[in-house]
Copies of this chain bind each other. A is one copy, B any other.
Amino acid sequence: MPAPWITYRPELKVLDCTIRDGGLVNNHHFDDDFVRALYQTCAAAGIDYMEIGYRNSKKIFAPGKHGKWMFCEEDDIRRIIGDEPPGVKLSVMIDAGKSDWRTDIPPKSQSIVDMVRVAFYAHQVSEAVEMIKHAADCGYEVSANLMAVSRNTETEIDQVLELLVETPAQVLVVVDSFGSLYMEQVELLVKKYLAFARPKGKEVGIHTHNNQQLAFANTIEAIIHGASRLDASMGGLGRGAGNCPMELLLGFLRNPKFKIRYVYEFLEKYIEPLRQKWEWGPYPQYYITGQLNLHPRAAIEARSSDRKNCYVEFYDRVSTDI
């Protein structure tokens, strides 16, 4: 029984978050060649946005310690991408509480960046609203990304959404930071976000983590229920268990503008070599933190220790942390 759909929804837009979320694996130390090749791949593959990193505070994060894609200075972006033909929109993420957004987000006329994504936890929503207004006033497209929504109650989420719909953010993203959501929860959340977003002409997005091998499935589920902004990364490169793999997402989407072959080319040349240096992907420790709806911090630590295969010890330790 072949797939029961052969058409596509033209409004679906894909954002590559390889550098931004993958930067949480290698502390943002991607070399210029990698970033340029990724941009060229996104352009050739028909990907709509590329998130090139964070624009976070140099006071909080020491530039010597963190790679340059923690800061995404305009000069760095232009040096690498400025000469490439346009076609892929560029995005940067700013973190509530960790970015000097009042001074580091210049007017759009001075920037090569197209979109600013504002990442925040529920208790930071008041700052997030200011960040969104500032970025929109500066002339950027703006996305509001409430992180770790799996840890919020329905009432908290409602309160955040009530505030966000009054801001100029064009996109509200369902973010499963802990990789703990099952598809039924994604359905409920996407429907809730849409109920707030649609009357205001806003779109809903989805950002998943692969702790329970559900990143791709949850992305499909979000699409089915009306999300139109989709995050994915090459080879799933992203914090801990990683994100929805771009190569799986593009294989599912039926829009002929997407050319998956370029993605496989990038995987072969650029992602496979990284696996010799850094680890990401769904391993048992991530299953466990995902099942328990915990931050993956403890799992990341365990995976980088010499007891990475001691699952029971890890299970016993974290299952008391709920």
Contact = CB atoms under 8 A, between A and B. Distances in A.
B224 A213 contact: no
A261 B309 contact: no
A183 interface: yes
Interface stretch (A86-94, A194-202, A215-223): A215-223
A150 B221 CA distance: 20
A312 B45 CA distance: 14
Nearest to A157: B1
A210 B261 CA distance: 21
Contacts of A224: 184
A121 interface: no
Interface in A296-319: 309-312, 315-316
Given A245-B213, A247-B284, A183 B220 contact: yes
Interface stretch (A32-40, A50-58, A131-139, A263-271): A263-271
A124 to B, nearest CB: 18
A4 B185 contact: yes
A173 to B, nearest CB: 15
Contacts of A26: none
A267 B251 contact: no
A294 B261 CA distance: 17
A287 interface: yes
From DSSP, what is the main secondary structure of chain A's interface residues? Answer: helix
Contacts of A310: 268
A44 to B, nearest CB: 13
B3 A182 contact: yes
Contact of A287 (B212, B221, B248): B248
A251 B216 contact: no
Given A213-B217, A309-B272, A150 B1 contact: yes
A5 B187 CA distance: 14
Given A1-B149, A1-B189, A315 B248 contact: no
19 contacts: A1-B152, A1-B181, A2-B150, A2-B293, A4-B184, A182-B252, A183-B183, A213-B216, A247-B284, A251-B287, A260-B315, A264-B311, A264-B312, A264-B315, A265-B311, A267-B311, A268-B309, A268-B310, A268-B311
